[in-house]
Structures are given as C-alpha cells and as structure tokens.
Amino acid sequence: MKKKISIMLATLMISTMGLSGCGKKAPETGTTGGDVIKIGVFEPMTGANAAGGALEIEGIKLANKLYPEVLGKKVELVLVDNKSDKVEAANAASRLVEKEKVTAIIGSWGSSLSMAAGDIVKKAQIPTMGTSCTNPLVTLGNEYYFRVCFIDPFQGTVMANYAFNTLKAKKVAIVQEVSNDYAIGLAKYFTDSFKKLTGDPNCIVAVTNYNTGDQDFTAQLTNLKAKNPDVIFAPGNFTESALVIRQARQLGIKTPFIGGDTWETPEFITTGKEAVEGATFSTFFATEKPITKESEVFLTAYRKEYNGKEPAAVAALGYDAYIILLDAIKRVGSADSVKLRDELAKTKDFQGAAGVINFDENRNAVKSAVIKQVKDGKFTFKEVIEPVK
Amino acid sequence: MSLDTFLQHLTNGISLGSLYALIAIGYTMVYGILRLINFAHGDIFMMATYFAFYGVTTFMLPWYFSFLIAIILTGALGILIERTAYRPLRGAPKISIMISAIGASFLLENVAIVMFGGRPKPFPTPEIFDKMVQIGNISVQRLTFVIPVVTFVLLYLLLYLINHTKSGMAMRAVSKDYETAGLMGIDVNKTISFTFGIGSMLASVGALLWALKFPSLLPLMGVMPGLKCFIAAVIGGIGNVKGAVIGGFILGIGEIMLVAFFQDLSGYRDAFAFVMLIVILLLKPTGIMGEKISEKV
C-alpha cells in the first residue's frame, strides 16, 4: 500500500512539473515582429513595499486601458513581483529581459529595488523608466535607466527648507531606516541642506536607526525624547514610519514629524490612525493642483475606474512612465530597444499627468515637488516647491 | 542618561521581555515533551493575530469575544499541525520531524500571503488598552502594565498545571520517557496534543498582546519574533518553563538597553539576540536553568 502511495505521489510531482512548463509556451514575439509590444512592469506586489507597488500598478494599468495600442500593435503589460527584496528584484528583472523579452520596463517603487535591477537592464540594453525611485544612484552611470520623478538631493532640500522656514526649527533629530538606500540618501541630503540653512554644524541633535520590518522603536524614541528636538525627520517605509510616529505619541513625544514621498499610502493612515495627524512630507503630485491637460485626463479616468477614490502621487507617476514610453515608441517607429533609449533621452517638455518632464544629463526628470500633510485622516495639499533652475 | 529616561527604557524592556517570554514558553514546552524545535510556532503566532483581525473586521464581533475565539482557534491549529505533520513521524529520526516543522512553517507563511495578501493590515486597538498613563515624567500605555501582569498570571497557572495536576504529571512523565509513560497507562497521544494546544494558546495570547502593541499585521511578522523567542528559550534552558521566561526577559531588556546606551548601534538590535545565542552556547550550552541530561543505561 505504502509503495503504491509513493509511486502515485512521485508521478503526481513529475506530471505537475511537466504541466507547469506547458503553461507559458505562447509564441514568443519578442521585440521585433508579431503584433504585440511587451512592456515589463517591475514592482513590489508583496513584502514591505507592496502598497506602494500596488498604487503604481493602478496608474500603469489605467494608462494601458486609456492607450492600449501604439504603432497599430497592442501593448501588453508583463507584471513581475520583486517582493520588496533586492535579491528577488535582480531575479525578477532577469526574468523580464531574458524570458519575457520585453521592449521596455517600468519600475520600481523603492530605490534599492531599482538599483538591484540596474546592471541587468544595462547589459540587456532594455530602457527602464523608474517611477518613484528617487535615489540618484539609480540612474547614475546607467544610460538605460530613466525616471519620471525628481531625485533626493532636491527632495532633501525641500523638507529642510520646510523645517527651517515654515516650522522654524533649529534642532532636528533623524530617525532613518538604515537598511533602505532611499532613506539613508534622503537623510544625508536633508542633513547637508539643513546644516547649510542654519549655519550650525550641530543642528542635527541625534541620528537613530532601525531596520526594515522592525516593529519596536520605543528605545530609539526614548533616547530622542531626551534630546528635545524641534522637529523629527523620519524618512523610511510607510508601515515602519507610521509605527514610529504612533509609538512616539504613546511615549508622550509631541514633536512634529516630517518625512519623504514613501509616506503617501493608505496604509500609513490606517496603521498610524490619530497619531499621524499633522505628519508632513514631500511628494510628487497633488490632485488639488493638476498641472497639465493630461493631469485632468488622468484624474477623470482614475476617479471613474476606481469609484471616486483619489489617486496617490505615485499612481500618476506610473501613468506617466507608461505614456512617455509609448510616445517615444511612436517617435522611433518600431520596438527597437536601443533606438528607443536614444529617443527617450531626446524627450523635451513632455506633458505628463504629474507635471512637465524634461530629462537632465543623468536622465532624471526636473520637476517641482508638492508638500502634503495628514489632516482629519486624509492627505491634504499644502504647497508647491519649484526646483532651483 | 536621566533617571526618567532610564525608567522609561526599563518599562519598555520589561514589556518587550514579557512578550518574548510568553512565546518562548510555547517553544520550550514542545521541546520538553517531544525534543522537537517547533519552527512553526512563530507562524502560529502570526495566524492568531489574523484570526482576531478577521473576527473583529469581517464578523463584527466585539474585541473580547474575537480574542477568545482567536485563542481557541489557534490552539486547534496547533493540535492540527501536530496531528498531521508531527505525529506520523514520531518513530522517525529527529531530523525528519525538524524538517517537517520547517515545512509547516513555510506552508503557513505562504498560505497567509495568498489568503491575507501582502499588504499590512491595521490591528484594532480597543480604547481600554490605548489610554496613556502618566507616572511622574514617564508616559506609558496602559497596555505596558497589562502585558507583564498577564504573563505572570499565565506563568503561575501553567506551573500549577504542570506541577500539581494529573495532566501536568502526565506531561512531565511523557517528557522524561514517552515509551515508558505509555506502558504506565498514560495516553501519550492525548498528552502530546494537549501540550501543543496549551503551547499554541499561550503563543496566541502573546500574539494578541504583540498585535495590540505593534498594530501592523504582515504574513511574515512571525519570523523574527519566532527566531528571537527560540533564542530566549535556549538562553533560559530549553525544556525549562521558568528558564524560558527568564530568557525572554534577558533578551527583551537587553535589546532595549543596547539601544538605550549605545545609540549608534541601534541598527544592530536584532543582531544582539543572535550574539547572545552564540555566547550562551559557548559558555553554558544547557542554558541558564538547564540541567545536564545524562544518558542512563
């Protein structure tokens, strides 16, 4: 009897392996020929950054729905999950370029994940459009990586100016997610900018670290409480940041918290609840201030598609990444990846939903930033900050 | 460091330590009975929080009811895992059952990812726990007091159960030598299931308190606490319930104090647990309260 069961199990295992191979044997059209153009979507769908990835995918899918074709061919989105993990990100990118043979890639939310894919897309010569990855290292030295968002040297100055000018802060404490390249980069640029503004080399009274996935920050926050800062700058993932602020309020810390664009997800408010009232951060786009005609198109379509929900800034960025790629493909006249890269670099004054896009010499978009604040459990717009020309 | 700050750190440490202690007890009990390190314990912890979450949000049950149901369901889950993954392997070499535990752990994690989704869920925190209490200059959540109290009450009840009741005597007998215990008329299967049930229910209480303190639920949230609580059990002497509690407090308070006194090392706080594991294995491998188990012929 046992032998029969083991033979049955073995046959079952082997047949499942064989059948799973049969699944994706669709005719490989690749980048030349066929009547489908494949665009890879490289986002975190699970893991710590899943919410951010989901928002961007909403924007990308919306754009695909509004503009499903280019050059008479259907545009097919190939989604891969980088699982918010650097190792998985490299694997996911490899799968897109080697197995799926996509023409171009959109992604990712999370600079560490984008950087993990950098070498792979450069070697494969597949142009990649970053959506909300703001660390400058993503595009530096990689002529195949572009992005539709601004970079952290700019974002750091935005919040430093806000802290100094609006909040009149002289002493700032920093709580950073040390395992996240984005958080460290942004903290560094903020520090440089704030030191220059105050002229005081000791204006950063404390720097404390935590890791992705940590849940207990009481020790770090108790130390900070003793240093008595005017403002706390906490760049990091939305879940951890919401818990940081919540625990700070529970410890009796009343200091205002400021942060970066990663905070703008629904989970930030559902996890932080009343504690995150007043939290202020910089981001890419505000629905209260549509910038171009495409913004209106995007907003109307998004509200219709998702039943009146207001889009997050990164959804607009996902949307822009898609349409800027399509526009470049149209100009090239074919799905040739190398020619596409060159054409993308020549983009001038592109009317995106989240603003007008011009690429600088490192393929970063030069755009304005928006400051938002949590008020009454919602993200509300505060002001626009223009980039220094 | 001012006295106030130190006292605040100490309260945080005791709170965290109690949480680790509750979960470590589960590990240690199962090891004591079966000589098995139940790697799935951390994931049972995670499932408990999700049961409570869905009880409150989907079934609209009041929180105390939902917590009770979650504890019972988790106990049942522990017994189910024991029946399907561990009992069939009782005669097999120890390594097979350990691998089965790892398999059960992965299964629970991935089922959770598929069923509950990868995005963090906010755990409902009832008013009664959330209120802040001011003691001098320290500000603490009410929850911070509830946690050590619950831990010690449950510990007392557990020790009473193990040392002064018939079922407890059965558990001790099975942990000494389960074949002989079977010969003496003890229903070994029932005793083992009972142990798993108790261990899982303790883990679920720990899980609910954990989720009240850190209200963000993720399918992989049980991995790090599971590892740390296993280390706590080893530090205290695996197989010894009092040792597990001591180990939990050492780890919890130690972690907080490391960050308190060495701000620059705050990124290394997880590493502290693993360094402690290496230290204890080098200095006293049987743990603080562990006794040497001599092979009697």
- Percent of chain A surpassing pLDDT 70: 95
Find chain B residues with C-beta within 8 A of A181's C-beta. Answer: none
A270/B269 Cβ within 8 A: no
Alpha carbon of B205: minimum distance to chain A alpha carbons (Å): 18
Residue A279 shares a structural domain with residue A208:
yes
How far is it, in rounded angstroms, from Cα B77 to Cα B45?
11
The pLDDT assigned to A26 comes to 45
| pLDDT bucket at A10, cuts 50 / 70 / 90 | confident
Phi, psi of A78 (to 5 degrees): -110, 110
**What is the DSSP track for A105-173?**
EE--SSHHHHHHHHHHHHHHT--EEESS---GGGTTT-TTEEESS--HHHHHHHHHHIIIIIS--S-EE
A225/B221 Cβ within 8 A: no
Residue A274 shares a structural domain with residue A377:
yes
Find chain A residues with C-beta within 8 A of B269's C-beta. Answer: 211, 214, 219
Find chain B residues with C-beta within 8 A of A275's C-beta. Answer: none
Alpha helices in chain A (DSSP H): 2-23, 50-66, 86-94, 111-124, 152-161, 181-198, 218-227, 238-250, 266-272, 293-305, 313-332, 337-345
User: For residue A303, which amino acid is it?
Assistant: R
Average pLDDT over residues B23-36: 86
Alpha carbon of A206: minimum distance to chain B alpha carbons (Å): 9
Nearest to A271 among B122, B220, B269 (CB): B122
A222/B260 Cβ within 8 A: yes
Chain B residue whose CA is closest to A50: B119
Q: What is the CATH number of the domain that holds A323?
A: 3.40.50.2300
- The 10s digit of each residue's pLDDT in A119-142 is 999 999 999 999 989 999 999 988
Alpha carbon of A219: minimum distance to chain B alpha carbons (Å): 6
- The 10s digit of each residue's pLDDT in A195-227 is 999 888 888 998 999 988 888 888 889 888 888
The pLDDT assigned to B294 comes to 56
Nearest to B260 among A47, A209, A219 (CB): A219
C-alpha count within 13 angstroms, C-beta hemisphere, residue B255: 33
For chain A, how many structural domains are there in total?
2
How far is it, in rounded angstroms, from Cα A351 to Cα A332?
18
- Percent of chain A surpassing pLDDT 90: 40
Alpha carbon of A361: minimum distance to chain B alpha carbons (Å): 36
B5/A225 Cβ within 8 A: yes
Alpha carbon of B269: minimum distance to chain A alpha carbons (Å): 8
- Percent of chain B surpassing pLDDT 90: 48
The pLDDT assigned to B252 comes to 93
The CB density around residue B158, as the number of other CB atoms within 10 Å, is: 19
Domain for residue A166, yes or no? yes
How far is it, in rounded angstroms, from Cα B80 to Cα B191?
14
The pLDDT assigned to A216 comes to 87
Alpha carbon of A97: minimum distance to chain B alpha carbons (Å): 25
Alpha carbon of B14: minimum distance to chain A alpha carbons (Å): 12
B256/A218 Cβ within 8 A: yes
How far is it, in rounded angstroms, from Cα A132 to Cα A53?
10
Give me the residues paired with residue B46 across strands: none
Nearest to A213 among B215, B224, B267 (CB): B224
- Which residues touch A33 (CB under 8 Å, ≥6 apart)? none
pTM (predicted TM-score): 0.82
The pLDDT assigned to A25 comes to 46
* Residue A347, pLDDT above cutoff 80: yes
A222/B224 Cβ within 8 A: no
Lookup: tokens for A135: 């660390």
Find chain B residues with C-beta within 8 A of A225's C-beta. Answer: 5, 8
Instruction: Give the position of tokens 């990444």.
Output: A321
Options 3.40.390, 2.50.20, 1.10.3470, 2.40.10; CATH for B3-283 is 1.10.3470
Helix (H) or strand (E) holding A209: strand A204-210
Residue A265 shares a structural domain with residue A315:
no
The sign of the CA dihedral A283, A288, A293, A295 is positive
Alpha helices in A67-104 (DSSP H): 86-94
How far CA B256 is from CA of A233, A287, B1, in Å, comes to 22, 42, 14
Among B211, B226, B205, B202, smallest CA distance to B53 is for B211
Find chain B residues with C-beta within 8 A of A226's C-beta. Answer: 1-2, 5
Among A364, A365, A368, smallest CA distance to A139 is for A364
Residue A141 shares a structural domain with residue A180:
no
A46/B118 Cβ within 8 A: yes
User: For residue A57, which amino acid is it?
Assistant: I
Domain for residue A201, yes or no? yes
The pLDDT assigned to B152 comes to 92
- The 10s digit of each residue's pLDDT in B97-146 is 999 999 999 999 999 988 988 788 888 888 777 777 777 777 778 888 88
Alpha carbon of B242: minimum distance to chain A alpha carbons (Å): 25
CB pairs under 8 A between A and B: 92
How far is it, in rounded angstroms, from Cα B243 to Cα B216?
30
Instruction: Give the position of tokens 């755990």.
Output: B123
Lookup: tokens for B147: 């946690």
How far CA B261 is from CA of A219, B252, B266, in Å, comes to 10, 15, 9
Mean pLDDT score of chain A:
87
CB-based contact B16:B8 (threshold 8 Å): no
The pLDDT assigned to A21 comes to 58
Question: What's chain B look like in SS3?
Answer: CCHHHHHHHHHHHHHHHHHHHHHHHHHHHHHHHHCCCCCCHHHHHHHHHHHHHHHHHCCCCCHHHHHHHHHHHHHHHHHHHHHHHHHHHCCCCHHHHHHHHHHHHHHHHHHHHHHHCCCCEECCCCHHHHCEEEECCEEEECHHHHHHHHHHHHHHHHHHHHHHCHHHHHHHHHHHCHHHHHHCCCCHHHHHHHHHHHHHHHHHHHHHHHHHHCCEECCCCCHHHHHHHHHHHHHHCCCCHHHHHHHHHHHHHHHHHHHHHCHHHHHHHHHHHHHHHHHHHHHCCCCCCCCCCCCCC
How far is it, in rounded angstroms, from Cα A245 to Cα B57?
24
Chain A residue whose CA is closest to B110: A46
Lookup: tokens for B217: 């639920």
Order the strands of the A69-70 sheet from edge to edge: A69-70, A73-81, A36-43, A104-106, A128-130, A145-147
- Characterize A36-69 residue by residue with b for buried, 16 or more Cβ atoms within 10 angstroms of its Cβ, and e for exposed: ebbbbbbbbbbbbbbbbbbbbbbbbbbbbeeeee
User: ipTM of the assembly?
Assistant: 0.78
Instruction: Give the position of tokens 């589960």.
Output: B26
Find chain A residues with C-beta within 8 A of B45's C-beta. Answer: none
- Best of B4, B134, B263 to mutate (most A CBs within 10 Å, chain A): B263
Domain for residue A22, yes or no? no
Average pLDDT over residues A18-42: 64
Residue A157 shares a structural domain with residue A265:
yes
Find chain B residues with C-beta within 8 A of A48's C-beta. Answer: 218
- The 10s digit of each residue's pLDDT in B170-185 is 998 988 888 898 898 8
CB-based contact B37:A258 (threshold 8 Å): no
| pLDDT bucket at A79, cuts 50 / 70 / 90 | very high
* Residue A228, pLDDT above cutoff 50: yes
Lookup: tokens for A214: 């940590």
The pLDDT assigned to A120 comes to 92
Residue A143 shares a structural domain with residue A209:
no
- The 10s digit of each residue's pLDDT in B46-89 is 999 999 999 888 888 888 889 999 999 999 999 999 999 999 99
How far CA B255 is from CA of A45, A67, A222, B14, B208, in Å, comes to 32, 53, 14, 11, 21
Residue A246 shares a structural domain with residue A101:
no
Domain for residue A179, yes or no? yes
Domain that holds residue A259: 153-283+372-385
C-alpha count within 13 angstroms, C-beta hemisphere, residue B115: 12
Residue A126 shares a structural domain with residue A173:
no
Residue A161 shares a structural domain with residue A184:
yes
Q: Lowest mean pLDDT: which of A178-187, A283-292, A370-379, B71-80?
A: A283-292
* Residue B157, pLDDT above cutoff 50: yes
Domain for residue A63, yes or no? yes
Residue A203 shares a structural domain with residue A115:
no
Residue A50 shares a structural domain with residue A90:
yes
The CB density around residue A289, as the number of other CB atoms within 10 Å, is: 13
Chain A residue whose CA is closest to B258: A219
Residue A248 shares a structural domain with residue A380:
yes
| pLDDT bucket at B291, cuts 50 / 70 / 90 | low
How far CA A229 is from CA of A173, A248, A373, in Å, comes to 6, 13, 20
B5/A252 Cβ within 8 A: no
Among B249, B222, B264, B15, smallest CA distance to A216 is for B15
